[in-house]
Structure 1
């Protein structure tokens, strides 16, 4: 089986590619290697994949229509995992155009490639951020998600709507996965595990938003990858029980599904910081700040549907997962 992974030099993309390669699949990875964060980290992730057989990399931007058309026409992919996106809630307030280019135009190019080349299954990254102003906990895939609070969240909600349109019009099987605060080795330097670990080790204050009154459903990368790999082989079919008079946001009369991938265990931000302090062996100097625009106070994933459909079950406890990340960080940055 030949699989295209977009965003293959990204955090989740690298880990998903490695898992599929270890399963014996052929993987073509693409990435534009942009400078949103240190390109060297992306290049070093790719080096991990180049060590494995059946992997090829093409430097390509998914917003490049002609390049995407040529790639799909030449390669004969069977399945696609779209993980390429402009990430980050706060950055979407600074450079909104980057999100439209990658997350909307780029995703359209992926959909068009899948449509014209008869792809068996498109799995794509959505986000827990789509729940927006919804405060019903845990976040359920059957909930309404029409009130995003950042442009990033709006683009991810748009991806779900665009995917449904292609599932309905062209019979393209699509599955959207709403990721919840993914962390682990090779993680992004703009996310809290990396930022906090680096600042504590270098005796710099950490920024604690909403005065620490936040909760996140921190999900370890291996658990996320397990869910993605399982769902890739679960091609959705039309929901025979779908009711047009009372439509379910998570399914359709088209081959379309939405799932959460989370740990189903929200952790208080202060507890998370304490766990990092213990792993690092130093206390953090905390700079307490107000809530930031685009943020939400809590995320909490309901994952029962994913459990039922593919047997998904998160296994990594926070303390062990943070230890794994901190050990990687020290090794990668030669601080061990």
Structure 2
């Protein structure tokens, strides 16, 4: 397997990359980055390529040179809150189509994109591949679904195997600091109050190492179409932050109900993980263990920032 991974500096991509590094089936690993940087420690097998995928036909020359057998496409706009309605989603849709065309022209075999739970109609609560209607209500979800549709229709014509790994709620080190778990961890590590809504909604959380393992399992499998990458175990948001309070030893700083619930926020978003489990994958982290590891990482980041500020 000669694997090309995009978005390898991102939250999901960096963890997937470490999994690929340890996979004996992978003979070559190539990763794209928008600007030249030193490679991270522990990535001895990865060859980095400076490439702006948003430039028209940017991937064409690289794919012809490398001739990857597999692509794991994790690059997309991810700025917290901005990505839901950003017009940049249209640019990433076009860039993804360019990458697919370049990969097919270079003789590629399997293309897996990182998709999103936002491709589904969230009013159904529980999302099942091929059963739950796909009716996104954001530009982000619409763009991701559009590429999923293109990928599936084109793969049959191009002789490729293709799948979309639909991610639900991954969490762990390097997650965007504005999201609920990083916010709770940082506030409590700082010894400051953490304010939340009622926390009544139910969500499907999966620790990032398990999510990365699921993505690699999908890449190595023959599964095609949409595949949920999720735990399948719903938990209320209030319980998540209460656990972080317990882990930090600062439960008194949790302020549930201090903020209003978001209007129209779905009561439940949970996935059926039956398809991805058919590969033999299963989560290895309990929720508590994942949160303990996550809190420790964010606490170390807070301590490091504090030390840097005193220098």
Tell me if both proteins adopt one fold, taking TM over 0.5 as the criterion.
yes
Distance 2:79 2:133 in 1: 19
Q: 2:207 corresponds to which residue?
A: 220
TM-score, L = length of structure 2: 0.88
Distance 1:292 1:3 in 2: 42
1:151 to 139, 144, 148: 139
Match status 1:86 vs 2:77: yes
Distance 1:157 1:56 in 2: 30
Please, which moves more after superposition, 321-330 or 190-199?
190-199
For residues 46-82 of structure 1, what are the alpha-carbon distances to aligned partners after superposition, in whole Å with 9 as ceiling and x for unaligned?
A: 523xx33221222322222232111111112111000
Q: 1:257 corresponds to which residue?
A: 225
Shift of 1:133: 3.6
3-state secondary structure, aligned to 2:269: coil
Shift of 1:207: 4.8
Match status 1:290 vs 2:261: yes
Shift of 1:149: 1.8
Q: 2:277 corresponds to which residue?
A: 307
Shift of 1:91: 1.6
Gaps of 5+ in 1: 34-42, 237-255
**Cα pair 1:114 1:172 within 8 Å, conserved:** no
Distance 1:66 1:147 in 2: 30
Shift of 1:163: 0.6
Q: 2:95 corresponds to which residue?
A: 106
**Cα pair 1:115 1:172 within 8 Å, conserved:** yes
2:244 to 272, 276, 281: 276
**Cα pair 2:193 2:255 within 8 Å, conserved:** yes
1:126 to 89, 111, 115: 115
Distance 1:206 1:14 in 2: 28
For residues 185-224 of structure 1, what are the alpha-carbon distances to aligned partners after superposition, in whole Å with 9 as ceiling and x for unaligned?
A: 2322232211221122334454534x32211100011211
3-state secondary structure, aligned to 1:216: strand
Change (3 A) 1:204 1:164: same
* Moved beyond 6 Å, runs of 4+: none
Shift of 1:264: 0.8
Match status 1:208 vs 2:181: no
Distance 1:73 1:114 in 2: 8
Q: 2:309 corresponds to which residue?
A: none
Change (3 A) 1:201 1:331: closer
* Alignment root-mean-square deviation, CA: 2.3
Distance 1:13 1:189 in 2: 17
